Amino acid sequence: MFSFKYDDDVSLSLPLPDQDSEALYALVEDSRTTLAQWLPWADQLRSADDEKEFLKTTLTHFGTGDSLNCVIRYRNQPVGMVSFNRIDKTHQHSEIGYWLVGNQWHHKNIMHRAVTALLTIGFTEYNLRKKLLLMSTLIMMQVITLLRN
């Protein structure tokens, strides 16, 4: 299994559909209303089996080199996902997408570390030269809220 350990707390790994689907689905289910405001897929995901199928699809895309979707693990627990969407090998760039929900994961610098880890993978393993960071409005709003408090 592909895994990238950023530090003692945060690591990225390829999804394990049989093991990760329930935990990731539970995160989405707990925050569906919030996620759905910004991420259209949140309303389309209706069960852990749907999540499992999605994770299998991401592994297929990884196998073809079209994208890289990683589970963000905090102390070995799945807490969200980060990805290179649509890797453009010709122009050596990609877009980054991610989600992390749940108040219990705020103020731990998890997403910063996860994106830094993904960028490291992009530069060293994929020879990407340019990344386009597509931050969801949800994450931006959370960052702004945290900065104001």
- What average pLDDT does the segment 75-79 reach? 95
State how far the Cα of 43 lies from the Cα of 149, in Å rounded to an integer. 30
Mean pLDDT of the chain: 86
Q: How far is CA 96 from the centre of its chain?
A: 9
* pLDDT computed for residue 10 by the predictor: 97
* pLDDT computed for residue 135 by the predictor: 47
Q: Are 12 and 3 in contact (CB under 8 A)?
A: yes
Q: Does residue 1 carry a pLDDT above 80?
A: no
Q: What is the pTM of this model?
A: 0.85
19-56, pLDDT tens digit by residue? 999 999 999 999 898 888 878 889 999 999 999 999 99
Q: Does residue 137 carry a pLDDT above 50?
A: no
